[in-house]
Amino acid sequence: MMIRRPAVAGSFYPADPQELRETIARSYLHPLGPGTLPPSGESARGVRACLCPHAGYEYSGPVAAHSYFWLSSLRKPELVVVLGPNHYGIGSGISTFREGVWETPLGRVPIDSAASKKLVELTGIIDYDPEAHKREHSIEVQLPFLQSIYGEFPFLPICLAFQDVETAREIGKGIAELLRGRDAILIASSDLTHYEPAVTAREKDAALLEAVQGLDTDVFYRILEERHVTACGYGAIATVMEASGRLGFKRGELHKYATSGETTGDYDAVVGYPSVSFG
């Protein structure tokens, strides 16, 4: 069985299971977080889609907690799909796993082999390439938050080096077909503007988030180019926007936006962190 070992445990989040659970709980209770732990025993059904940041928990964990607080309303999902960028440029342009498990300090998460096979067939542009995922953190950091809510769940990771609009539309179409009629979670993992003054970052990110909330992919890519917004996972965001529109969602809701400056105190070169849900 193929096992994908954690690449950033001990750096982006604690490697000790108990410390990791405590860190996640603090993210919810942080002044930038929801202010309370997620409820249990919820029974909402259908597809839940969101945008969630992926920096170290110390920096973006409280903003990410808003997304997971919202996702916790769904009863145990039949499938969780997480899309993130390929920061290292290793492996295939669009990649997933055929089979196996992903490991974190909180346990193992199994790949949904049937869902993986179906999405590869539906799109025709996704490769099976575990090497592309080996060092990538953007998908991995979402798993402990999900495990703290659901325990074990079927999982499908998609790593994007190709982030153009045509790719986003093709994969978004396939994901919508894959998830329609299921109780499922769909996550775009991305931070927004990188290493600019907080005032500039907030202005650029606010414009981009307007397009995200409007599910307008054309405007989204136009703002990316015109405003030079350095969102690392823009293709993941656009793919989830496309899938959300095809699933009948009308608009996104901004739950929280903050920058790294609000945790580090350095407002001269910040990273923007978004939490958005679609419904």
Predicted local confidence at residue 75, as pLDDT: 87
CA-based angle 224:230:133, to the nearest 5? 110
pLDDT at residue 41, as a whole number:
63
The pLDDT of residue 162 = 98
For residue 1, the model assigns a pLDDT of 86
Per-residue pLDDT of the chain (279 residues; tens, 9 = 90+): 899 999 999 999 999 999 999 999 999 999 999 999 998 767 789 999 999 999 999 999 999 999 999 999 998 899 999 999 999 999 999 999 999 999 999 999 999 999 999 999 999 999 999 999 999 999 999 999 999 999 999 999 999 999 999 999 999 999 999 999 999 999 999 999 999 999 999 999 999 999 999 999 999 999 999 999 999 999 999 999 999 999 999 999 999 999 999 999 999 999 999 999 998
Q: What per-residue confidence (pLDDT) applies to 201?
A: 98
Q: What is the 3-state secondary structure (H, E, C) of the chain?
A: CCEECCCCECCCECCCHHHHHHHHHHHHHCCCCCCCCCCCCCCECCEEEEEECCCCHHHHHHHHHHHHHHHCCECCCCEEEEEEECCCCCCCCEEECCCCEEEECCEEEEECHHHHHHHHHHHCCCEECHHHHCCCCCCCCHHHHHHHHHCCCCEEEEEECCCCHHHHHHHHHHHHHHHCCCCEEEEEECCCCEEECHHHHHHHHHHHHHHHHCCCHHHHHHHHHHHCCCCCCHHHHHHHHHHHHHCCCCCEEEEEEEECHHHHCCCCCEEEEEEEEEC
d(CA 166, CA 253): 25
Instruction: Identify residue 97 by its one-letter amino acid code.
Output: F
Question: CA–CA separation, 51 vs 253, rounded Å?
Answer: 10
Domains of the chain: 3-278 (3.40.830.10)
How far is the C-alpha of 19 from the C-alpha of 193, rounded, in Å?
30
**What pTM did the predictor assign?**
0.97
Residue 274 has a pLDDT of: 98
Q: Angle, to 10 degrees, between the axis of helix 217-227 and the axis of helix 234-246?
A: 160
